[in-house]
Amino acid sequence: MKILGIESSCDETAAAVVEDGRHVLSNVVATQVEEHKLYGGVVPEIASRRHSEAIVGVVRQAMEDAHVGYSDLDAIAVTYAPGLIGALLVGVNFAKGLSFSTGLPLVPVHHLRSHIAANYLTNPELKPPFLCLVVSGGHTHIVNVESYTKLSVIGQTRDDAAGEAFDKAARAMGMPYPGGIHLDKLAESGDEKAFRLPHPSVEGAPYDFSFSGLKTFVINLLHNADQKGEVVSTADLAASYRKAVVDCLVRNVMKAADDTGAQTIVIAGGVSANRLLRRRLEQECERTGRRFFRPELCYCGDNAAMVGAQGYYEFQSGHVAGLDLNACAQMDIQEG
Ligand code: KG4
Ligand code: ZN
């Protein structure tokens, strides 16, 4: 079964053709990051406009690269929630038009479910149930993946998402947007023990996260040093900060695995590209006899191959929409 996936929830316009939820026949991503960099973050109006400009070419390219025509497809899957509403609407309306003109079924896909499904593309042996740490620019969730389409959140951030915490600290250290990847790179050459940083936890909610205090601590540390004319080693600070964020992520997900008896741990979302997070979870899973899976780096950030992957399982479970499908800025993963 071949599915065309379409993604436009934030600042990448993407289309892909995926077979049986597991095999990528094409994967096209047009990123707007260079333009948003000028403003230090995503500007929603610009994002919507660029999606409108890019979507026809991106979908056409994905079809060409996969060497398929619309009569070879079985369905069109599209990200409909959560995300920037104007950005989501571009993909949803395009997919609706395509569904109307081709007669192909329309499959709505939840963005975080698709991030999790990115793992099915490169780990053929991975099947639910498993526990997934979903870490992106906007979300930090521990998700119990009971089946391909039955998912429940057992822990989440109370304030900043992990990606947001990385980006804001990186910005304070003078790195361009989105700073998570730059901070990660610089941290490789720093001393992670150079700064003692807080490791916040949420009282009475061991699977929940709180990163805003840690982020503010680092921003204040930089301001104070600046006022005193002291030079801070950004490599050491990046390494110490990355360790603190990753310590919190690993601590909570391993506690959740212990409590729920989960034998398989998976990571997903843009921050799952983080080198330390990948190394640490791999070590922890090896130490505790668990299986660990992570997406290939090219499927960690936003893409449409993951939409085609999750779309396959949603379609199998009968999740199809009519032409009255709307985009939603917010939606729980359970509802997806
Ligand atoms: O999943 P994603 O592409 O978009 C959202 O759905 O939010 O995630 C983007 C986030 C950004 O905050 C970015 O800085 C972060 O993922 N990120 C990283 C790394 N690569 C991307 N954070 C830490 N280390 C990385 N290597
Ligand atoms: Zn995302």
CA–chain centroid gap for 272, Å, is: 8
Centre of ligand 1 from the C-alpha of residue 70, in Å: 33
Q: Which ligand is nearest to the CA of 295?
A: 1
Choose one of 109, 113, 166, 173 to mutate for the ligand 1 pocket test, by most ligand atoms within 8 angstroms of C-beta.
166
Residue 77 to residue 110: CA distance in whole angstroms = 10
Cα–Cα dist 315/109, whole Å: 10
Residue 2, pLDDT score: 98
Burial 119-137 (b: 16+ CB within 10 A, else e): bbbbbeebebebbbbbbbb
Q: What pLDDT shows up at residue 309?
A: 98
Q: Which residue type is seen at 52?
A: S
Measure 136 CA to ligand 2 centroid, in angstroms.
6
Q: How far apart are CA 121 and CA 25, in angstroms?
A: 11
Distance CA 336, CA 318 (A): 13
Neighbours of ion ligand 2 (CB under 5 A): 136, 302
What is the Å distance from ligand 2's center to 114 Cα? 9
Which residues 6+ apart lie within 8 Å of 23 measured at CB? 121
CB-based contact 303:12 (threshold 8 Å):
yes
- Output the ligand 1 site: residues, CB below 6 A: 10, 115, 136-138, 163, 166-167, 178, 180-181, 184, 269-271, 273-274, 301-302
Q: Which domains does the chain have, with CATH numbers?
A: 2-116+299-316 (3.30.420.40), 128-297 (3.30.420.40)
253 touches 130 (CB < 8 A): no
Kindly give the confidence (pLDDT) of every residue in the chain, 336 residues in length, as a single tens digit, with 9 standing for 90 and above.
999 999 999 999 999 999 999 999 999 999 999 999 999 999 999 999 999 999 999 999 999 999 999 999 999 999 999 999 999 999 999 999 999 999 999 999 999 999 999 999 999 999 999 999 999 999 999 999 999 999 999 999 999 999 999 999 999 999 999 999 999 999 999 999 999 999 999 999 999 999 999 999 999 999 999 999 999 999 999 999 999 999 999 999 999 999 999 999 999 999 999 999 999 999 999 999 999 999 999 999 999 999 999 999 999 999 999 999 999 999 999 999
Name 113's Cβ contacts closer than 8 Å, sequence gap at least 6: 149, 151, 310, 314, 333, 336
pTM value? 0.97
Contact by Cβ (8 Å): 76, 3: yes
Phi, psi (rounded to 5 degrees) for 227: -65, -35
Using the atom order of ligand 1, give the atom closest to the CA of residue 112.
Answer: 6
Ligand 1 pocket mutation, candidates 271, 276, 331, criterion most atoms within 8 A of CB:
271
CA 35 to ligand 1 centroid distance, Å: 17
